[in-house]
Amino acid sequence: MNFESVIDISKAELIQVTFPDEIPVKVFVKRLDLIHPIISGNKWFKQKYNLVYAKENDYKTLVTFGGAYSNHIHALAASGKEFGFETIGLIRGEEHLPLNPTLKAVTELGMKIFYVSRSDYRKKHLPEFEEWINKKFGKVYIVPEGGTNVLALKGGSEIPSLIEMDYDFICSACGTAGTIAGVIAGLDGNKKALGFSVLRGGAFLNNNVKNLISAYNGKAYTNWSINLDYHFGGYAKINRELILFIQNFYDANMIQLDPIYTGKMMYGIYHLGRNGYFGKDKTIIALHTGGLQGVEGMIEKMKNVLANKVR
């Protein structure tokens, strides 16, 4: 597969950013969101070697899982169209019509969507669920929720090599923790990696990282941590402070963040920097992991939060 004709890594600029008030560290954003209009950010690095494996093993169809606004579902649908795979999305929850912007987009990209009840969706990691998939759809390559598996770590491990300057910390938002695990593996004990959980009760991500890295290269590292303090109430939960921060960040830097992942990470970097977590005169790299398609689905919610002046 000719990835270079589709994905342009050279567009992933490294840009220094500013905040509403000065903090004693330098923060740069690695614009992984710019490498492709849809297959952007961390999604590409997670998918890359899964696509290679599927092609080499003669899989014609990719099946994956996600919620109704999933960035992963959206990006995999685009990869299927770009690289010649049929795609099937198993969507958590009940059907709602008309389709939301994410699901409308994936169907236009050729993905077939099927709805899975929330109770059944919780069983997706069990062998009998995989058996059901194979019985229903035939020979298909199953990509896990969020795209996180050992092959995803292989792609994510390439991210640190794209940073064209010296730095002290590299940061990423965490949903399944596949991206930060890949980054940690790529650092191989050098520098420091800091993940920001976007989930409430995200302590389990620490074990996810350890287990993923162990499965990938058999190693254990100590140069990383996952911060659990900037989830703003949980996945896709927001408040007025976060929304205004994202708006002010855009005004200052002309870089759009999303309120589910990158906005929370950047707020966390700003807040920690302001309070001395990183020390002084350190250089922080923040990975822009894309996910901007999800902003449209959050617009109404953000308007309501601002209108009600909810803190």
For 218-259, the pLDDT digits (tens) are 999 999 999 999 999 999 899 999 999 999 999 999 999 999
The total number of residues shown for the chain amounts to 311
Q: How far is CA 250 from CA 17, 137, 247, 292, in A?
A: 10, 44, 5, 13
Give pLDDT, residue 151.
97
Instruction: Specify the CATH number for 3-39+150-307; select among 3.30.70.20, 3.40.50.1100, 3.40.50.2300, 3.30.70.1140.
Output: 3.40.50.1100
Instruction: Give residue limits of the domains in the chain.
Output: 3-39+150-307, 42-147
Q: Which residues of the chain have pLDDT under 50?
A: none
For 288-304, the pLDDT digits (tens) are 999 888 788 788 888 88
Give pLDDT, residue 301.
84
Does domain 42-147 fall into CATH 3.40.50.1100? yes
Domain 42-147 in the same topology as domain 3-39+150-307: yes
pTM of the model: 0.94
Give pLDDT, residue 311.
53
Region of 235 please: left (phi>0), alpha (psi -120 to 50) or beta.
Answer: beta
Give pLDDT, residue 310.
54
Q: How far is CA 302 from CA 46, 244, 253, 260, 310, in A?
A: 29, 10, 20, 11, 10
